[in-house]
Structure 1
Amino acid sequence: MAGGVGLFGLLAVAGPLFAPYSGERAVGMPFARPGGGALLGTDRLGRDVFSHLLTGGTQLLVVSAVIAVVVTVLSAVLGAVAAVRPRAGKVIELCGDLVILLPAVLGILLVLTAWPQGGVTALIAVSLVFGVPYCARIFAASAATLATSGYIEAAIASGESLSHLVFREILPNLRAVFTTQLGLRFVVAVYLVSTIAFLGVSALGPDNWAIMVRDNASGLLLNPWAVLAPSAAIAIVAVGVNLVATSGPRKRRAVAVESDVVEVGPAGVVLRAGGVDAAGVLAGTGVAGGGHDGGRQVDPGKAAVSEPSGGCGISVVGAGDTVLVDGLSVVADSGAVLLAPLSFRLLPGTVTALTGASGSGKSTAMRALLGQLPAGARGQGAVLVAGHDVFALDAGALRAFRREQIAYVGQDPGSELNSLLRVRAVLAQAAPRTSETDRLAVLERVGLDATHLRRRCARLSGGQQRRVALARAILRSPRILVLDEPLAGLHGTLRTDIARLISTLATENHTTVLLSGHDTEAINAIADTVIEVRAPGDRSVHVAAEVADSRGDAHSPNGHSGASNHRRVDPSADAAGSSSASRVDDLVGVGEAIALHAEAITADAGGHRVLENIGFSLPAGAALAVVGPSGAGKTTLARVIAGLHADVAGSLEVDGVRVPVGRRRIKRGARGIQLVTQNPRAALNPRRTVEQTLARPLRRIARVPAPEIGARVTALLAAVDLPLDLADRRPHQLSGGQRQRVALARALAADPAVLICDEITTALDTETAAAVMSLLDRLRADRATAIILISHDMTLVRGHCTDLLVLDHGRIVESGVPATVLAAPAHQATAALLG
């Protein structure tokens, strides 16, 4: 459809080349009906309507196209500027309001009537004046969402120019809005130019469809084609070009290949084992490929699985199974393996945990339960959820399945919540039939009080956003609950409470829960089954084993005691949780010079005071831990120091140089301040590869010569424990932990004097987190880089930080050496961090 009408528009522009007669040549009697040499009859002067039709669209379409392109481009630029420069945005908005007070068509008619000699130039200029204010507002609203993304804020904090922010960071990510607006602006321009031509206000050529309609209206009954043909041409071209502009190549939904279902009987669905290789985990069977025990029976009340001798896959789906994943593997369009073959099953009323290194495919496996694979990726194997083959569902059935059967909370809940909505509206949208009492009750279950119902999601801390997202999922009462890193970013006591809530949902509501996490102790406390997901390329054999649960009732939210049926794949993984890569006492590099001095920092947000009289000094090479409960103001403090918070007072000094604390970021180049945010999904520009992301600060801030960029990118990737083959990938092809490490590498590329790390280890496995912290320790020792670490992991704080600030309700309530403060906390907020 779009291609056909688009071709019609192209034909309209090139029409004069195909016209049988000259546009002004009379070929018959006025208003003669079709026949003879006149395919559509003649007009009021006896000219061929068809020839006039072919020659009458050129000027109309060219003028309309110029207006559409210039209005859209100028509006996009102004909208982007308004998003990243609030003061300029207010001026743009005020000017727009003044123009909007006068109706566009009326204003254009008045100007052109008073300036008739202006012709086409005047028409284009006036159309811009009256068209841009409307369109710019749409771009400003779209760009405002991007302006709060981590990658935009990182660019601002790095001192990038306004032109770079607009043309390199924002506009490339507004392509969909741009093409849509371009099509709409073209339609408006076509009708506007046609109206002006019809009214004869501006001097347009006689070969014009609108003038044809006006001049031949008197002969409508004699030869209607003289009026209908140009009228239809205007409509078809306008709609056609709009469709071409707004339609793009549709992304094909990647679906799993047909599973090996061979029989359906009383026992359920029988699957062949072809989808699982020798390294696949036979979750719940106690058997690993190549190492099974010849038909060992596992308690059917817990696993409902029986593995026959010689088998390699899941052979029988029990009638009570809620989820069956058999031989699921996922490969990206680039050929990279995102998920090695994996098999497991979930039962109602149980909690199953996926663990494994960052990038092993845990999130990919979890999203597969929703029938979703990464863009362009292809899957193999079977995924049966609540009786549905999720990859075989059409779009409507898949939406119904997601709405009625399953709820998912991702790693970055802040990206999943509408930042402009209040919490009350978010909950109401998720479960419209629930009452206000129900919504308040579910908020209280996740540790939030009634005041949060009135708060907008953008005004919540990362931990609060995570709890709102969890509350939204719980409120729907789903049969299956999928939680990706639900305990990340929560302090000790709250982490225990949320873990207990998840366990209660499973046992009391009979909900099937699948979660992931890197907190070994917390995972072991609530999970009935723990499955270690191996990274693609790791061919080591998985060993499933029964694990004696010696935690006891006092420590287990599930209430397990003694020897339970708790299972995990790798019993030795627990030891990693207590390892510390280095000791503070062994670190060197803390110097006399003060890298950062903050004094009397006060910040407001949304009319509320979020920071009050914050002051500290951070020596070069030191590591300051900023801790506190969710909502204490930790992230706000990080944003203030990075120059990203507008409503702030106080003073900052970097290496003895006074810097402004407002939104305008000082351009210090290397040895400045860099921030790594806590939201890995929004931290990277989605249109840039990893190599492009790292090359920018190397070239612009660190002043690395172009021939050395490649080697430095390789070194940065190695420093954050990422393989070189990720350099060509874009953010959507990375796991959350990989994105977080790329964001850290980008900050390191700028060679900062002060590095702010906001919850950078929450998406990392224990081993990788230890490696990253060791890297930061080396930076402190070798480059005297000062580190500000925001974290809820007190073990990490004890092992790697030299100083500690405890915030509560925006104030410093305790400070000192971490080991001393945490050993004998004097404030309730500090004690709560220890769980």
Structure 2
Amino acid sequence: MSGRCAAWWRYSVAAGVGLVVLLAVAGPLFAPYPGEKAVGMPFAQPGGGALLGTDRLGRDVLSHLLTGGTHLLAVSAVIAVAVTVLSAVLGAVAAVRPRAGKVIELCGDLVILLPAVLGILLVLTAWPQGGVTALIAVSLLFGVPYCARIFAASAATIAASGYVEAAVASGESLSHLVFCEILPNLRAVFTTQLGLRFVVAIYLVSTIAFLGVSALGPDNWAIMVRDNASGLLLNPWAVLAPSAAIAIVAVGVNLVVTSGPRNRRTPKTASDAVRAVGVAEAVAEMGSGSALDAGSVAGSGRSGGCGISVVDSGDAAVIAGLSVVADSGAVLLAPLSFRLAAGTVTAFTGASGAGKSTAMRALLGHLPPGARGQGAVHVGGHDVFALDAAGLRRFRREHIAYVGQDPGSELNPLLRVRAVLADAAPGSSDADRLAVLERVGLDPTHLRRRCARLSGGQQRRVALARAILRRPRILVLDEPLAGLHGTLRTEIAQLISALATENSTTVLLSGHDTEAINAIADTVIELRPPGAGPVDITAVEADSAGEVQLPKGRSGRTGRQQVDPSGEGPAGRNGRRVLNPDPAGTAAPADLSGNGEIIAVRAEGINAVAGGHTVLENIGFSVSEGAALAVVGPSGAGKTTLARVIAGLHADAVGSLDVGGVRVPVGSRRRIKVGANGIQLVTQNPRAALNPRRTVEQTLTRPLRRIARVPRPELRPRVTALLAAVDLPADLAARRPHQLSGGQRQRVALARALAADPAVLICDEITTALDADTAAAIMSLLDRLRTDHGTAVILISHDMTLVRGHCTDLLVLDHGRIVESGTPATVLAAPAHQATADLLG
């Protein structure tokens, strides 16, 4: 069924259901006779004054039909709303409070042990005079356990997202987490369940009325069916009319709810533009050697320069005049033209927000919801924007593979890696899967691990392995080198190069590591933000030294810490200390605080378990006010787990943690009292960092009001100042997350953390989605935040250049243990452990 026919069918069904519901609600106003008035002989045929004949008591069937639906629909609506709302709340609570979730699940299991139909009949038979009250109560008792499980499963994914975890780390109350963070993002589930519960309620009320086990109103379609069944052969309309009304409402509501309106991912304007302008004509209009509209092309890597003015048989893709505009009018991608030669590597570089991800997804026929596209996109001989839904699915399955900037959100967290790879390439063998895992630097044991138990770097490699296993003609990789340590980054870069040279795969990638990109790319396209040049750091309000001025923090410190321009970092306080793994757990924690300095955060004896395996063992450290501790190590070493333990997000953890001299519970998710001016977390994945239902302004306003206690009239100027501090324009305040690039979302998440004026700021890979200039600006901002506010920063990063230049202390993790610690200058200059040496590449 085509999209137009499906829409016509959906609207027709909706109109029919709406008409029946309207007649049921307003029916008494249009009834020719009172519902209980006899107008003729029992079971008389249609005719005369009775359009549908009469029933067993001689009453007009049409009049009785019009007056008998109000009670049924009203009771069904109350049951549906009550069951859905209560189930949604319980499911959300179960997602954010695992202990409460276990209690809810246990109670549900006890109820489910009793068959629902039998239980309902027993209760109503024992309480025959309960009427509507008994029916609603029994519906809640037997309906909520099933429905709550569905909401709990859906809410669990949302509860694990970055914006919910940031809210938990900020000390938000349970009511805020449930009603402001989770439930608004369960609208689709809520709507679907509300419709289904309404259908179930209609059948339940009809069945109870038909059986007569509870005292319900006499004006009821089900009672009409029961009372008139004996005269089915005399006047079938007395039975068929109410039966049809019940069926139309029940089935129609179900169809409308489950086939609600969908977002059009391919705007009509884009298709029209492609049909109007041929690819060859569009490319010819660019002229030989003409510059790109939104970027510039520079030859580099193995094959030198690559023009775009000639279309030949070697072109895997040709993009001409592609531009994308959001539904708000914001330009997401300025007009862009380029070609991809078969068997080559093309790279997008440029500032965050330039449209790299938008351009890459356009090759798959995917545009942001509500966005309008213009231009021509031909990939592998296919006019992508002209494909229908079925053709687009076939094209994506057979010709192209895409690995996004946040691979963790693309992997089913419940599946094992073996199942993920088998699903991507059903015809592959176990040997093929093992080989592709080895190519991305993962050992065979990862086949048995669930995706949720992988680190961010491991998830990125599994997603890459899944794409490679499909053997696509075109491979689109968004930030494939982000979040990887030095040696592994080099290996993955070499793998990408080999895919092009040995397998003739056409690769389009993006990234900010210019050295690695220039080493493997044939063509580098530098995109620029729409209507702007390269990122200008000096646009941030600065003093004569080029430093953003921030208000003084809690400590009132006004001194300024100087960063060695050579990149070696400030002189350390304790030199370097090497810790050997100690299975007995007797090694003393690394003391990085120094003497005579105020300790902002101290951790001792931190141990954490995930999936039955120990992921952190005997971790200890301390960070002084104004200091920056870099936590580094290979992928899967436990860095993110340590950050989550400190932020109070990892339940299976023990140890002691002090923040500003106050003991903070470890392994607990309830830190409401220490949330304000305490710990703030900026999570690793920018895609899940922000609540999709909120604008940027709403996101920043919450901590400003709740924690910083900023008066309402001053909120907008403070929001503008926060955006400027992270190098974002003020007009982004009205946008929602889907209208931002990955780097912009990451900076908004950082601004949200800064709005709370934290004593401890945990930054998990916050520069991976940023270009070099913006990353340097963000790190300089953190330097000034530490100096002026006395904020302690815990930075997780794979960028050793940033660590050297902006961190005072260093902690190296490997397999969940501290293997080396000290100052960056000392540790990185002469690594004493192989894990540290691997970080340097």
The TM-score, its normalising length taken from structure 2, stands at 0.89
Residues in 1 aligned to 2:80 and 2:435: alpha-carbon distance in whole angstroms:
51
Q: 2:37 aligns with which of 19, 25, 30?
A: 25
The reply on whether 1:459 has 2:453 as its aligned counterpart is: yes
Offset of residue 254 of structure 1: 3.5
The answer as to whether partners of 1:493 and 1:834 remain within 8 angstroms in 2 is yes
Residues in 1 aligned to 2:212 and 2:131: alpha-carbon distance in whole angstroms:
11
The answer as to whether partners of 1:417 and 1:426 remain within 8 angstroms in 2 is yes
The reply on whether 1:609 has 2:614 as its aligned counterpart is: yes
Greater shift after overlay, 324-333 or 70-79? 324-333
What do the CA deviations read for 1:301-347 (whole angstroms, capped 9, x no partner)?
Answer: 87775xxxxxxxx5431121001111111111111111111111111
Residues in 1 aligned to 2:528 and 2:418: alpha-carbon distance in whole angstroms:
40
Offset of residue 103 of structure 1: 1.2
What do the CA deviations read for 1:545-573 (whole angstroms, capped 9, x no partner)?
Answer: xxxxxxxxxxxxxxxxxxxxxxxxxxxxx
Q: 1:85 aligns with which of 97, 100, 110?
A: 97
The reply on whether 1:722 has 2:707 as its aligned counterpart is: no
The answer as to whether partners of 1:279 and 1:540 remain within 8 angstroms in 2 is no
Q: 1:142 aligns with which of 154, 162, 176?
A: 154
Residues in 1 aligned to 2:453 and 2:655: alpha-carbon distance in whole angstroms:
22
The reply on whether 1:694 has 2:694 as its aligned counterpart is: no
SS of corresponding position for 1:258: helix
Offset of residue 241 of structure 1: 2.7
SS of corresponding position for 2:688: coil
For residue 65 of structure 1, what is the aligned residue in structure 2?
77
Residues in 1 aligned to 2:632 and 2:183: alpha-carbon distance in whole angstroms:
37
* Paired residues for 1:119-130 under 5 Å: 119-130=131-142
The reply on whether 1:366 has 2:381 as its aligned counterpart is: no
The reply on whether 1:749 has 2:755 as its aligned counterpart is: yes
For residue 619 of structure 1, what is the aligned residue in structure 2?
624
The reply on whether 1:800 has 2:806 as its aligned counterpart is: yes
For residue 791 of structure 1, what is the aligned residue in structure 2?
797
The answer as to whether partners of 1:409 and 1:482 remain within 8 angstroms in 2 is yes
Amino-acid identity (%)? 83
For residue 737 of structure 2, what is the aligned residue in structure 1?
731
Residues in 2 aligned to 1:386 and 1:77: alpha-carbon distance in whole angstroms:
48
For residue 182 of structure 1, what is the aligned residue in structure 2?
194
SS of corresponding position for 2:686: coil
* Paired residues for 1:45-56 under 5 Å: 45-56=57-68
The answer as to whether partners of 1:491 and 1:792 remain within 8 angstroms in 2 is yes
Offset of residue 300 of structure 1: 14
Q: 1:320 aligns with which of 300, 314, 323?
A: 314
Work out which structure has the larger RCO, using CA pairs closer than 8 Å and 6 or more positions apart in sequence. Answer: 2
The reply on whether 1:584 has 2:569 as its aligned counterpart is: yes
The answer as to whether partners of 1:582 and 1:774 remain within 8 angstroms in 2 is no
What do the CA deviations read for 1:371-419 (whole angstroms, capped 9, x no partner)?
Answer: 1111111111111100111111111100000000000001000111111
For residue 664 of structure 1, what is the aligned residue in structure 2?
669
Offset of residue 263 of structure 1: 7.0
Offset of residue 710 of structure 1: 1.2
**Structure 1 residues 323 and 620 mapped into 2: Cα distance closer, same or farther (>3 Å)?**
same
For residue 485 of structure 1, what is the aligned residue in structure 2?
479
Residues in 2 aligned to 1:421 and 1:12: alpha-carbon distance in whole angstroms:
47
SS of corresponding position for 2:757: coil
Give the counterpart letter for 2:733 in structure 1.
Answer: A
Give the counterpart letter for 1:741 in structure 2.
Answer: R
Q: 2:647 aligns with which of 632, 638, 642?
A: 642
For residue 719 of structure 2, what is the aligned residue in structure 1?
713
SS of corresponding position for 2:334: strand
SS of corresponding position for 1:360: coil
* Paired residues for 1:88-487 under 5 Å: 88-255=100-267, 256=270, 257-259=272-274, 271-273=283-285, 280=293, 305=307, 315-487=309-481
Offset of residue 617 of structure 1: 1.0
Residues in 1 aligned to 2:785 and 2:282: alpha-carbon distance in whole angstroms:
56
Residues in 1 aligned to 2:461 and 2:262: alpha-carbon distance in whole angstroms:
35
The answer as to whether partners of 1:333 and 1:377 remain within 8 angstroms in 2 is yes
The answer as to whether partners of 2:170 and 2:676 remain within 8 angstroms in 1 is no
Residues in 1 aligned to 2:569 and 2:626: alpha-carbon distance in whole angstroms:
12
Query: Which consecutive unaligned segments of at least 5 residues does structure 2 have?
Result: 1-12, 536-563, 574-592
How many residues align structurally?
777
Give the counterpart letter for 1:458 in structure 2.
Answer: A
Residues in 1 aligned to 2:436 and 2:302: alpha-carbon distance in whole angstroms:
34
SS of corresponding position for 1:813: strand
**Structure 1 residues 475 and 662 mapped into 2: Cα distance closer, same or farther (>3 Å)?**
same
SS of corresponding position for 2:285: coil
SS of corresponding position for 1:241: helix
**Structure 1 residues 540 and 504 mapped into 2: Cα distance closer, same or farther (>3 Å)?**
closer
For residue 777 of structure 1, what is the aligned residue in structure 2?
783
Give the counterpart letter for 1:818 in structure 2.
Answer: P
Give the counterpart letter for 1:627 in structure 2.
Answer: V
Offset of residue 271 of structure 1: 3.8
Greater shift after overlay, 585-594 or 731-740? 585-594
Give the counterpart letter for 1:593 in structure 2.
Answer: I
**Structure 1 residues 282 and 165 mapped into 2: Cα distance closer, same or farther (>3 Å)?**
closer
The answer as to whether partners of 2:286 and 2:309 remain within 8 angstroms in 1 is no
What do the CA deviations read for 1:485-511 (whole angstroms, capped 9, x no partner)?
Answer: 000000010001000000000000000
The answer as to whether partners of 2:306 and 2:523 remain within 8 angstroms in 1 is no
The reply on whether 1:820 has 2:832 as its aligned counterpart is: no
Offset of residue 273 of structure 1: 2.3
Residues in 1 aligned to 2:295 and 2:166: alpha-carbon distance in whole angstroms:
43
Give the counterpart letter for 2:396 in structure 1.
Answer: R
The TM-score, its normalising length taken from structure 1, stands at 0.90
Give the counterpart letter for 1:782 in structure 2.
Answer: D
**Structure 1 residues 832 and 717 mapped into 2: Cα distance closer, same or farther (>3 Å)?**
same
The answer as to whether partners of 2:602 and 2:622 remain within 8 angstroms in 1 is yes
Residues in 2 aligned to 1:244 and 1:262: alpha-carbon distance in whole angstroms:
38
SS of corresponding position for 1:45: coil
Q: What RMSD in Å do the two structures reach over aligned CA positions?
A: 2.4
SS of corresponding position for 2:375: strand
Q: 2:659 aligns with which of 654, 661, 673?
A: 654
Residues in 2 aligned to 1:270 and 1:149: alpha-carbon distance in whole angstroms:
42
**Structure 1 residues 734 and 263 mapped into 2: Cα distance closer, same or farther (>3 Å)?**
closer
Query: Which consecutive unaligned segments of at least 5 residues does structure 1 have?
Result: 287-297, 306-313, 542-578
Offset of residue 29 of structure 1: 1.5
The answer as to whether partners of 2:302 and 2:520 remain within 8 angstroms in 1 is no
